[in-house]
Amino acid sequence: MSRRVLVLNGPNLGRLGSREPDVYGATSYAGLVDTCRVLGKELGFDVDVRETNDEGEMIRWLHEAADGSIPVVLNPGAFTHYSYGMRDAAAQRTAPLIEVHISNPYTREAFRHTSVVAAVASGTVAGFGIGSYRLALRALAEEIGG
């Protein structure tokens, strides 16, 4: 039986492949979804990949994860730096939650150096491109015995 995992993506991540490829790479959002689902299946996960530009929707998804004890891989996008509502929803987690970033925020603009999510996440993976998601899914498998 597969364990359900949510891979949640915040603002602008649906534009992968066309949005700043020098920063975020050439892989499209569809490629990201495929990567997560294929590796997830190998790890015994049923991966549900979602993307939203809406803070309220992200908060509802985090509530869904908390209510169902569903592990989460979370790329908050710009919400990382200012969404205390999302941070508070993530703090309610009842299963591991791994924060992920495609780029390394610490090598970018100063405003990106602060994550309001990091303190309530199980861990953070950043700077490995789409590979950050693969590393996060593998970390989840280790964490929950996937």
Give the helix ranges, DSSP H, for the chain: 21-24, 29-42, 55-68, 84-91, 131-144
Q: Which of 24, 29, 84, 133 is an active site residue?
A: 24
Q: Which of 29, 63, 84, 101 is catalytic?
A: 101
Alpha-carbon gap, residue 132 to 146, rounded angstroms: 18
**Alpha carbons 27 and 122: distance in angstroms, whole number:** 26
User: Is 103 known as a binding-site position?
Assistant: yes
Task: Give catalytic status of residue 106 as yes or no.
Answer: no
75 labeled part of a ligand binding site: yes
Q: Is 101 a catalytic residue?
A: yes
Q: Is 81 annotated as a binding residue?
A: yes
Q: Which two tokens stand for residue 18?
A: 């066309």
- Is 102 annotated to bind a ligand? Reply is yes
Residue list for the binding site for substrate: 75, 81, 88, 102-103, 112
- Residues with a catalytic annotation lie at 24, 101
Residue list for the binding site: 75, 81, 88, 102-103, 112
